[in-house]
Amino acid sequence: MKKHRLSTRLWHWVNLLALVILFMSGLNISNAHPWLYWGQWGFQPNTAWLAVHRWPGWATIPGYYNLAAARDWHILFAWVFAVGLLLFLLTALFNKHLRKDIVPRRKEWRWAAIRADIAAHLRFDFHHGEGKYNFLQKLAYGVVLIVLLPLMLLTGMAISPGFDAGFPWLLDVFGGRQSARSLHFIVAWCVFAFFVIHVLLVLLSGPVKQLRDMITGGRFDEAA
C-alpha cells in the first residue's frame, strides 16, 4: 500500500510551487503600499494597524519592484493554486483520504492522548500512533487544508477587483476590502509558519526517506 497516493504527491509539488511564487510575488505587491487597515477603506499610514517591512529584491518575484509584473505572476499562480486545491479536496473526499487519514478519531481528542502525542514529538518520535499520521499531524494538516488554504483563496478573491461583480458578498463576509487584505496577509504568514515547521520536522525525521516517499509514494504498513 502506497503511503502517499499519486494525487497527493502531484498536488503536494504543484501546490508548493504555486505557494512559493504567490508568496514572493505577494511580497512585491506589498511593497507598493506596506500598510494594513481594517474596514472598507484605508489610505493613510497613521490609520494603519500594521506597517509591513519593505522586502528586498531577493525575497520577491520579480527580483525588483514592479507592481504590474508581480500582479501578473500572482494572478497566474492563484489560478494554479485554486484549481489544484479544488481538485485535491474533491479527490480526497472521493477516495476517503480526508476521512481516513486527516480527520482525527474521537479517541484522539482525549487529553491523555493529546498529551502523549506531544510528549512523543518532544522525544522526536514522529512515527507513533495509528494510521499514516499522528494526532498533531492530522490537526495541522486539517487546519491548513480546511481552514487556511481556502481562507487565503477567498480573501484573495475578495481583494481582487475582477471578482467584485461575480462575488460582491465576499467583501461583506470579511468586513470590507481592507479587512480582507489584512486577513489575506495574516493567513499567508500562517501558511509560511506551517511551511517552516513542516520543513524542520522533515529534516528531523529523515529527509531522504521523506522526500523519496513524496516522490515515489513509499509504502505504508497499517500494522506497523
Say how far apart CA 189 and CA 152 lie, in whole Å. 10
**Torsions phi, psi of 104, nearest 5?**
-65, 145
Say how far apart CA 204 and CA 185 lie, in whole Å. 29
Burial 3-23 (b: 16+ CB within 10 A, else e): bbbebbbebeebbeebbebbb
CATH classification at residue 37:
1.20.950.20
Which whole number is the average pLDDT over 70-74?
A: 96
Which whole number is the average pLDDT over 142-150?
A: 96
Which whole number is the average pLDDT over 11-36?
A: 96
Residue 222, pLDDT > 70, answer: no
- If pLDDT is split at 50, 70 and 90, which confidence band does 128 have? low
- Asked, for residue 223, whether it belongs to a domain, the answer is no
Q: What is the pLDDT of residue 219?
A: 76
Q: What is the pLDDT of residue 204?
A: 87
Residue 191, pLDDT > 70, answer: yes
- If pLDDT is split at 50, 70 and 90, which confidence band does 138 have? very high
In this structure, how many other beta carbons lie within 10 angstroms of the beta carbon of residue 151? 17
Alpha helices in the chain (DSSP H): 6-32, 67-94, 97, 111-122, 135-142, 149-158, 169-173, 177-204, 207-216
**What residue has cell string 489575506?**
184
Q: What is the pLDDT of residue 224?
A: 36
- Asked, for residue 48, whether it belongs to a domain, the answer is yes
- Asked, for residue 117, whether it belongs to a domain, the answer is yes
Q: What is the pLDDT of residue 129?
A: 66
State in Å, rounded, how far the first CA of the chain is from the last one.
12
pLDDT tens-digit map of 84-104:
999 999 999 999 888 888 998
Which whole number is the average pLDDT over 103-128?
A: 87
Position 93: which residue type?
L
- Asked, for residue 1, whether it belongs to a domain, the answer is no
- Asked, for residue 149, whether it belongs to a domain, the answer is yes
Q: What is the pLDDT of residue 220?
A: 65
- Asked, for residue 150, whether it belongs to a domain, the answer is yes
Q: Which of 2, 10, 159 shows the shortest CA–CA distance to 87?
A: 10
Q: What is the pLDDT of residue 1?
A: 62
- If pLDDT is split at 50, 70 and 90, which confidence band does 125 have? confident
Q: What angle do CA 91, 97, 102 make, to 5 degrees?
A: 130
Q: What is the pLDDT of residue 217?
A: 86
Radius of gyration from C-alpha coordinates of the chain:
20
Average pLDDT value for the chain? 90
Cβ(93)–Cβ(38) below 8 Å = no
* Percent residues over pLDDT 70 in the chain: 95
Which whole number is the average pLDDT over 185-204?
A: 94
Residue 77, pLDDT > 50, answer: yes
**Torsions phi, psi of 220, nearest 5?**
-125, 130
Domain with 59, as residue range(s), is: 6-216
Q: What is the pLDDT of residue 126?
A: 77
- Asked, for residue 224, whether it belongs to a domain, the answer is no
Say how far apart CA 27 and CA 89 lie, in whole Å. 27
Number of domains the chain contains = 1
Residue 166, pLDDT > 80, answer: no
- Asked, for residue 125, whether it belongs to a domain, the answer is yes
Name the DSSP class of 50: E
